Amino acid sequence: MATNSVSKEQMQQLLKISTALSSEKDIDQLLENILQAALQITNADAGTLYRVTDDQFLKFEIVHTKSKGVHIGGKSSISIGIPPLPLFTKSGEPDLGRVACYAVHKEQTVNIADAYNAEGFDFTGTHKFDAANNYRSVSFLTVPMKNHESEIIGVLQLINAIDPKTQEIIPFSPESQEIVEALSSQAAVALTNRMLILHLEELFESFIGLINHAIDDKSPYTGGHCNRVPDLTLMLADAVNRCKSGPLGDFTLHEKDRQELKIAGLLHDCGKITTPVHVVDKATKLEKIFDRISLIETRVEVVMRDIKLALAQQKITNSEADQQRQQLIDDFNFLSHCNIGGEFMKDPDVQRVHDIAARYMWEDSSGKKHPFLTDEEITNLTIRAGTLNDAERQIINHHIDLTISMLEKLPWPKHLRNVTEYAGGHHEKMDGKGYPKGLTREQMSVPARCMGIADIFEALTAKDRPYKKGKTLSESLEILGKMKLGHHVDPDLFDIFIWEKVYEEYALQFMDESQIDEVDVSKIPGYNPPPPGYEFSSKKQA
């Protein structure tokens, strides 16, 4: 009977395959390469690759029969419907009847010349398969895949070696067995290394998730922000990547770049883990541990008492008392409105707060008189925009310094070396007036500038902030457009954000339906129509 022999060409193939296996990053493709290489080297007609699962089963990863045109699992689009093989019987004993299970338990290769005449193994399932598919599985070469730690992680099984001259089915030769064992060993090491890398990547992303969970537990809206910003950043970066014309036409974003940008997005606010919660979640201007507007309300009641007392003592008339009560109510309502915070507080409103502070005095139980508003309350109630005073704003701003400091301490691998730059630049402005480094547009990368827009737009539209309601789509785009004109955000990225309708993609995924209103892009401040000949990469056109 003819036998295969290892040729110089086969050895060269093995060396070439070994190099390819060590560099392949896709697990499915790696498995595919292992089986295809074994089929090619041995000239086998069929093969199966199994992986040992944690619960002690042999899982079918790829099944390939060339003569029948069968290729399922692996990189094919066809899933394998065959249940995994248990390595142990119901009584807990090692299953030595199935040849693949035997190879795992005995940690040795099984070379069978003719499965229809073999003793000691159960080929019932194989015979049923052959009968149903008009096939005859004769010669078997079953090789356990043992990694560098002498752990069996899979099984490579080849079926029906074919004589290249006669096309007859022949046994697998000792030379073929030797070279497949060498291939199997190298493949097991490559697969183990790749799985280890994937597990480390999963561990790292889980650790990032742990940080965001800690932030989320302290401040729920911040945790949501940390998860939405990377998604919007990638939406914009992908849109830029699709554009092959204009000032950003040379920008490219590979899969490894997307992973790097995603991680940067997830970590861009990690410094907020130390920010005091009473600052992060400050819903009103007077809030600390509680909203101190209630203290002012108590003083209103005291002043009301004083008015009533003055009326009883005939120090004032009924008309004067009514006028003073109404004035006090109006003033308190005004202060309550100021306490909410908003986009911008006008000069007359600031002056009115000071006037109210000087208008009233209140007397405590000891008879001591006090100003109606403390200096600290005046400072907070006259905050021009938002709810944070200057000192609190500095505390919030410090999170980016801490973010950069934390990320700079990590030993980033080469493919993640830009994480700190991307994450640390989302509060910079294109004119150099941002923080913490005062970088200009030219000093920042495109991904960092993408994150800047994403951070702003997410904050504008977010519906889970304690100090404001989420703005509508048109309101958010109007503010973002003004920020473009004010040199806060990148003008070219803003254009692509509008032209490619990135805002719409984000809105449909993350915004409430009530926030998604009609958008007339021509009315957005700073809007530029796309140049003639511009090719839209998205289905919808601006």
Q: In the chain, where are the structural domains located?
A: 8-197, 219-277+391-523, 283-387
Per-residue pLDDT at 172? 96
Per-residue pLDDT at 106? 96
Assigned token pair, 159: 């079926």
Buried b (16+ CB within 10 A) or exposed e, 36-61: bbbbebbbbbbbbbbbbeeeebbbbb
The pLDDT profile of the chain, 542 residues, written as one tens digit per residue, is: 344 455 666 666 666 676 666 666 778 888 888 888 899 889 999 999 999 999 999 999 999 999 999 999 988 888 898 899 999 999 999 999 999 999 999 999 999 999 999 889 999 888 998 998 899 999 999 999 998 888 999 999 999 999 999 999 999 999 999 989 988 888 888 888 888 888 888 888 888 888 877 777 776 666 578 889 999 999 999 999 998 888 898 999 998 899 999 999 999 988 888 877 777 677 787 887 678 899 999 999 999 998 998 999 999 999 999 999 999 999 999 999 999 877 688 999 999 999 999 999 888 878 888 899 999 999 999 988 888 888 888 887 788 899 999 999 999 999 899 999 999 999 999 999 999 999 999 999 999 999 999 999 998 998 866 656 789 999 999 999 999 999 999 999 999 999 999 999 999 999 999 999 999 999 999 999 998 877 776 544 44
Q: Which architecture, in CATH terms, is 8-197? A: 2-Layer Sandwich (3.30)
* CA–CA gap between residue 161 and residue 183 (Å, rounded): 17
pLDDT digits (tens, 9 = 90+) for 63-96: 999 999 999 998 888 889 889 999 999 999 999 9
Per-residue pLDDT at 7? 62
Length of the chain: 542
Q: Could you tell me whether strands 361-363 and 369-371 are parallel, antiparallel, or unpaired per DSSP bridges?
A: antiparallel
Task: Report pTM.
Answer: 0.68
pLDDT digits (tens, 9 = 90+) for 434-483: 999 999 999 999 999 999 999 999 989 988 666 567 899 999 999 999 99
Assigned token pair, 328: 């006090």
Buried b (16+ CB within 10 A) or exposed e, 415-439: ebebbbbbbbbbbbbbeeebebbeb
Count other Cβ atoms within 10 Å, centred on residue 252. 10
Per-residue pLDDT at 245? 81
The CATH number of 219-277+391-523 is 1.10.3210.10
Beta carbons of 87 and 105 less than 8 angstroms apart? yes
Beta carbons of 85 and 57 less than 8 angstroms apart? yes
Per-residue pLDDT at 391? 85
* CA–CA gap between residue 248 and residue 534 (Å, rounded): 13
Per-residue pLDDT at 276? 78
